[in-house]
């Protein structure tokens, strides 16, 4: 199997600026379908920025570098040319660190639109949604697996949700949309101990060998059932070090002091970034 025949999401030499200020200063990352990558790094190092850039948030301007999606047959797609919804339809997913609420729109209705578009990527607005019966069956099954009350789907998207409820709703959406590649941005934060365990198991089950996942986390529990193939450390807008699962364990135990000392240039960039805020 040649490298190019692997289904993957690649980020190379990525520079991203917000309001003219550079946040990411050259990020390289390759996630194969079926792989789990952990992304760690201190607050403000640029982890969420990478997730937004991959999803296409309009405020995050890619000043140089590429993001590509490579199909199993070797076809390359330039992700940077796609609108966010095209990226989603192409199989990219972002679980938000801070999901947005949409008052008045029931989670079920929102998801029915989402599922329809992602299953028929060429669908135009106004064309039929997937049949209610089929959708409802699927939704109920997924909610049961996630130990969620089915009444939850009748609530308005993230409106008045607790922190933990929001994260569970993000996992539900991941389960319903079954993307090829997912960035999970602190999907464990806000969850209680039992919920984190369940989330860890569910993500492993949803992902399996099917999904390439980038797990952004400050905690260890989410990785319990999702042993990372690779762990990356971000500092000052760069991935400064990558390793195996043992790197995640080390950082959880010992923090980022060794990293800052080992990469003084990135540490200086980190200082400069936080100083301007």
Partner 1 sequence: MKTSSVESLAPVPTAHSATATRSSFDHRSLALLIAASNSPAWVNEHRQVAFERLESLGMPARNDENWMRTDLRLFKPQAWGPRQPPEPTEPMPVGLLAEAIAAGHGGQETFLNEPSGPVHATRSLAGKVLSLDGHVQYEQLDESLARQGVLFGPANRLLAEHPDVFKPHWFSVIDSGADWFAAMHAAFHTAGAVLFVPPGVRVTAPFYALSAITPGGVDTGHVLVVLGEGSEATVLTETAGGGGPTTRPSDGSPSPATGGFHCGGTEIVVGARAFLRIVNLQNWNDGVWHFARQKAVVHEGGRLQWTLGALGSRLSQVAQDVALVGRGAHAQVNGVMFTVGRQQLVYNTLQHHEAPDCRSDLLYKGALQDRSRLVWRGMIRVNKLAQKTDGYQRNDNLMLSSEARADSIPGLEIEADDVRCTHGATSGRVDEEQIFYAQARGLSADEAARLVVAGFFQQVFDRITIAPVREAFAQAISSRIRRLS
Which residues contact Mg ion (rule: CB under 5 A)?
47-48, 97
Name which position in 1, 43, 100, 194 contacts partner 1 (CB under 8 A). 100
Contact criterion met (CB below 8 Å) for 215 and 223: yes
Considering the rule CB under 6 A, would residue 90 count as an interface residue with ligand ATP?
Answer: no
Comparing CB distances to partner 1, the nearer of 92 and 266 is 92
Comparing CB distances to Mg ion, the nearer of 47 and 180 is 47
How many chain residues interact with ligand ATP (CB under 6 A)?
15
Distance, CA of 173 to CA of 167 (rounded, Å) = 10
Cα-based distances in Å from 201 to 149, 184, 188, 225: 18, 14, 12, 6
Considering the rule CB under 6 A, would residue 49 count as an interface residue with ligand ATP?
Answer: yes
- Is residue 252 within a helix (H) or strand (E), and if so which, with residue range? helix 245-254
Considering the rule CB under 8 A, would residue 175 count as an interface residue with partner 1?
Answer: no
Comparing CB distances to ligand ATP, the nearer of 123 and 219 is 219
Q: Return the exposure string of 98-115: e unless at least 16 CB atoms fall within 10 Å of the residue's CB, then b.
A: ebeeeeeeebbbbbbebb
Min dist. Cβ of residue 43 to ligand ATP (A)? 3
Name which position in 8, 33, 47, 89 contacts partner 1 (CB under 8 A). 89
Closest to 76 measured CA to CA, from 2, 178, 8, 1:
8
Four-residue CA torsion sign, 175, 179, 181, 183: negative
Instruction: Give the interface with partner 1 as residue ranges (CB under 8 A).
Output: 55-58, 83-85, 87-89, 93-94, 96, 99-106, 108-114, 117-118, 125, 132-133, 153-154, 156, 173, 177
């Amino acid at each position: 199997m040649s490298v190019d025949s692997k289904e993957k999401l690649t980020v190379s030499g990525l520079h991203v600026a917000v309001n003219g200020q550079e946040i990411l200063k050259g990020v390289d990352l390759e996630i194969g379908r079926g792989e789990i990558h952990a992304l760690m790094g201190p607050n403000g190092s640029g982890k969420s920025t990478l997730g937004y850039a991959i999803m296409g948030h309009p405020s995050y301007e890619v000043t140089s570098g590429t993001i590509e999606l490579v199909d199993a047959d070797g076809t390359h797609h330039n992700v940077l040319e796609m609108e966010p919804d095209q990226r989603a339809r192409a199989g990219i997913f972002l679980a938000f660190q801070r999901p947005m609420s949409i008052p008045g729109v029931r989670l079920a209705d929102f998801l029915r639109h989402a599922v329809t578009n992602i299953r028929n990527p060429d669908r135009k607005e106004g064309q039929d949604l997937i049949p209610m019966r089929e959708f409802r069956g699927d939704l109920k099954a997924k909610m049961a697996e996630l130990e969620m009350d089915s009444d939850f789907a009748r609530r308005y998207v993230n409106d008045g949700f607790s922190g933990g409820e929001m994260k569970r709703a993000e996992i539900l959406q991941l389960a319903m949309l079954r993307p090829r590649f997912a960035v999970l941005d602190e999907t464990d934060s806000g969850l209680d101990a039992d919920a984190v365990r369940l989330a860890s198991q569910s993500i492993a089950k949803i992902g399996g060998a099917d999904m390439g996942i980038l797990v952004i986390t400050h905690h260890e529990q989410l990785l319990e059932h999702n042993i990372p193939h690779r762990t990356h450390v971000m500092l000052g807008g760069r991935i400064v070090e990558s390793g195996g699962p043992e790197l995640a364990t080390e950082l959880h135990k010992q923090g980022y002091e060794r990293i800052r000392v080992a990469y003084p240039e990135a540490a200086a960039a980190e200082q400069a970034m936080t100083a301007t805020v």
